[in-house]
Structure 1
């Protein structure tokens, strides 16, 4: 395996971490707006709180596994740089696994997010509201 193989993941992981940070910032803004809102005890808001809590935890783990993937990728490159083929391959494989876990967590977070939107749409469909 060449040094350039794990180097190909660097830009992808960096962009992924940026996307995760944007998801976190958007979620933080939603939570702060709900906290400042006068109708935060409304049923539609109450129905979203469990999902918001799950999303906070998921984003934390998404970012953690993304950073772990980035770190392992860097260590893989270092191992390959010093001609450690076996450690480099193992670290690269572990990096890819951490990236896969991060992506699966991202998918779960997106599904929870879309469920929250469905709750809002359902509330909008209520007559007389």
Structure 2
């Protein structure tokens, strides 16, 4: 397969959309950290805050690395297009492979971050379930709905 100038150009939109998603995740984490900081300063006795802080620290590191590999992928895409424009097809092929590899790493890190964020949500659910006498939140909802129907 011969690599054409339009091939790496197609990645531009995908990479920029990924970078936007990664940035949105970063902003959401920043808001969570600020909110958690306020909660921590108000009551330092809650044990779940320590778990949430550790979770957010991991997620923040992963998001930083996701953004790093996304940027590397984007830069390699630009270099690939330049090499194709100059006629260095063999070098452009290798740079394109590097760009795809960096994109793959960014996506893998994104998957790991999603898994960790799910754990964070489970921490929140666990905390709320303790308030409802250790009943699952779905049981609570269904019991509430059945009372409405009677």
TM-score interval (norm. to shorter): over 0.9
Is 2:81 the counterpart of 1:61?
no
| Aligned residue among 113, 120, 126 for 2:124 | 120
Counterpart of 1:4? 6
Between the two proteins, the alignment pairs up a number of residues equal to 129
Instruction: State the structure with bigger RCO (CA 8 A, min sep 6), 1 or 2.
Output: 1
Is 2:26 the counterpart of 1:24?
yes
Q: RMSD over aligned Cα, in angstroms?
A: 1.3
CA 22–40 in structure 1, closer or farther in 2 if over 3 Å, else same: farther
Larger radius of gyration: 2
Counterpart of 2:16? 14
TM-score normalised by L of structure 2: 0.82
CA 123–10 in structure 1, closer or farther in 2 if over 3 Å, else same: same
Counterpart of 1:49? 53
Structure 1 unaligned spans of 5+:
none
Moved over 3 A (4+): none
TM-score normalised by L of structure 1: 0.95
Structure 2 unaligned spans of 5+:
134-150
